Amino acid sequence: METVRRLYSEIGNDDSENIVEAVMKNDCKFIFRYLDKGGDLTVTDERKETLLHKASRNNHFEVVDVLIKAGLDVNAKNRYGDTPLHLAVQFRNAYVVYKLIFEGADVNQQNVRGVTPLHLASARGNIQILNLLLDSNSKLNLADENGAKPIHYGVRSGKASVILHLLNNGASLNDCDDRKNTVLHYACSKGDDELVAYVLRHLTVNDSRNIYHETPLHIAAEKCSLETVKLLLNNGYNPLALNLNGQTPEEVAKAKGRPEIAEFLRQYLRSEDYKEKFAKYPLHRAACNNQYEVLVQMLDSSQINEFDYFGKSLMYYAVNCGSLKTVDYLWKRGARLNAVDEFGQSALLIAIYNEDLPLIEYLLKRNANVNEIYYGRSFLSRAVLRNNYELSKLLIDYGADVNYIDSRHRTIYSYALEFASEEIIELLVEKKASLV
């Protein structure tokens, strides 16, 4: 304490009216005089906030240092479960974030809503703070109370650089929240046309639906520009997809008071572009829309593995819409499970992207390759990176290699330490995974 007194004894004007004001103003002179008179720094307010919480709202390195050296807990929680680090990140105070982490702040602490400092940093869009957290082993795949992960919060920043940064550190555009909304659903909900375009350039799975059976096109019809609606159509998003209310994107646009979008979609269904890209492939549309009876009536075995205009097979669409009945029918008719699209993605990979456990187990029982490597990652690596215990255990039960080392010379266990829960780490130890 004597060291910080020497360093900061001249910081401030000693004109604060009380200790809270002194902390907010970085008035170290007042704080030292307050301590000399026997003042208590462990006071909390009605929100159970400590003085360190209040100091973390401001980018004053000195007062934060004084309070920590005086013994205040860097991991103390207020009534909302926020630590000082949550508040420092929320208010974009990089110097304080650095100091708190250096002094032992838990970067993976979740508040009562399940939000971590990394969630907040992703939403705020401060790359410097994002780097500080990621370099300190912040877990990318901790979810909030709604299942949203930092990459979903990154959409709120409106910055493609934040999304790219998270992707480069192991996040996935295919991550879903509890309502099965992907990053693209979030970008469309925000009405951010530039971010939608960016996500589409990096996405390998399309037409994914949330629990309300809404595709990104349904949401874009309500929230986004006409150009974004066109972009989604050009990327294979189905204009006739039905949500749980039985509405197409056109009908959503009409109901939400967007006549220009509704009229465009109505006219599009009569266009040559629609005929060439969608209507020409009725079987693929049936598989995409989970129209099992239509598929059974129309399917010719010679067409079983054909790709449509967008480079997708019938099996791709059946897996992506989660129809186990259709997948089983196609498999029994000779549909292949490997290379179900032009990118060479397997049916199992698509199911893993969607975290569809019943479908994953179905495919594994039919000898899908549990140890397939796609873009340098095994399926078990992907499950661990997504912090999905059930998926990790299922893959291991079907023979996934727990000792796989990727092109970065990293083991699955090393990723678990960085991204996964204690439950997954214990599972890998139990299965004798290589630790280095």
pLDDT digits (tens, 9 = 90+) for 301-354: 888 999 999 999 999 999 998 999 999 999 999 999 999 999 999 999 999 988
Q: How far apart are CA 72 and CA 81, in angstroms?
A: 16
Distance in Å from the first CA to the final CA of the chain: 40
With a CB cutoff of 8 Å and minimum separation 6, the contacts of 267 are none
pLDDT digits (tens, 9 = 90+) for 211-233: 999 999 999 999 999 999 999 99
78: pLDDT strictly greater than 90: yes
**Scanning the structure block, which residue is given the tokens 């109505």?**
266
Q: Which of 295, 374, 353 is nearest to 328 (CA)?
A: 295
pLDDT above 70 covers a percentage of the chain that reads 100
- Domains annotated for the chain, with CATH where assigned, are 1-106 (1.25.40.20), 173-280 (1.25.40.20), 281-369 (1.25.40.20), 371-435 (1.25.40.20)
95: pLDDT strictly greater than 80: yes
DSSP at 301: G
Q: How far is CA 304 from CA 26, 208, 364, 366, in A?
A: 71, 22, 21, 18
pLDDT digits (tens, 9 = 90+) for 270-296: 999 999 999 999 999 999 988 999 999
Q: Which of 146, 96, 154 is nearest to 121 (CA)?
A: 154
Give the bridge partners for 373, in sequence order: 378
Q: Return the pLDDT at 23.
A: 96
Mean pLDDT along residues 244-254: 97
Q: Give 113's pLDDT tier (boundaries 50, 70, 90).
A: very high
User: Which two three-digit tokens encode residue 148?
Assistant: 């949203």
1: pLDDT strictly greater than 80: no
436: pLDDT strictly greater than 90: no
User: Which two three-digit tokens encode residue 402?
Assistant: 């727990």
Q: Which of 24, 2, 5, 6 is nearest to 15 (CA)?
A: 24
Q: Return the pLDDT at 224.
A: 97
207: pLDDT strictly greater than 80: no
Collapse the DSSP code of 369 into the 3-class scheme (helix H, G, I; strand E, B; otherwise coil) and give the result: coil
Q: Return the pLDDT at 243.
A: 95
Question: What is the model's pTM?
Answer: 0.88
pLDDT above 90 covers a percentage of the chain that reads 83
What interhelical angle do 389-397 and 357-365 show, nearest 10?
Answer: 10
